[in-house]
């Protein structure tokens, strides 16, 4: 369902889609950004004034951190294992981070190119604790596009 023009989107839930496989139970996404270098061109004008112009440079690679509740799904672990043991041919994947509205419809897609897992962290394990166990995966990517 499309939002009216003046309404803002509320990210109700998030998902990760890697090579057609969707993981919809993502609870937090952080560090997602597009960035590029800035080139400074220093020159003198015809009347002798010193001017600094800023030009767009090369896009920068980025990293994003995804958090989800610990489940039986071991897709993160398999992906991390490929990268950890240097199987980069199968570890580098194309995918997208998807923001869903409260009805489950996709609001925005952030397409990642040549993404691979840098690290996997399991939340602290404490005996007798009643909080949800989480796992965080840090994914590095070469390029991001907003779809």
Global pTM reads 0.79
Contact status, residue 95 vs residue 64, Cβ threshold 8 Å: no
Report, as an integer, the average pLDDT of 36-48: 93
- List, for residues 98-117, the tens digit of each pLDDT value: 998 888 888 899 999 999 99
The answer on pLDDT for 48 being more than 80 is yes
DSSP 116-136: EEEEEEEPPP-TT--SPPEEE
Residue 5: per-residue pLDDT: 56
């Amino acid at each position: 369902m499309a939002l009216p023009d003046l309404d803002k989107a509320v990210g109700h839930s998030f998902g990760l889609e890697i090579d057609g496989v969707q993981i919809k139970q993502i609870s937090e996404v952080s560090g997602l950004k597009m960035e590029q270098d800035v080139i400074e061109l220093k020159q003198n004008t015809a009347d002798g004034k010193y001017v600094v112009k800023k030009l767009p440079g090369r896009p920068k690679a980025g990293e994003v951190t995804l958090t989800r509740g610990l489940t039986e799904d071991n897709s993160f672990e398999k992906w991390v294992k490929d990268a950890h043991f240097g199987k980069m041919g199968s570890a580098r994947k194309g995918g997208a981070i998807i923001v869903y509205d409260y009805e489950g419809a996709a609001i925005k897609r952030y397409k990642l190119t040549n993404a691979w897992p840098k690290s996997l962290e399991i939340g602290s394990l404490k005996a007798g604790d009643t909080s949800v166990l989480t796992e965080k995966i840090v994914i590095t990517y070469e390029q991001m596009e907003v779809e």
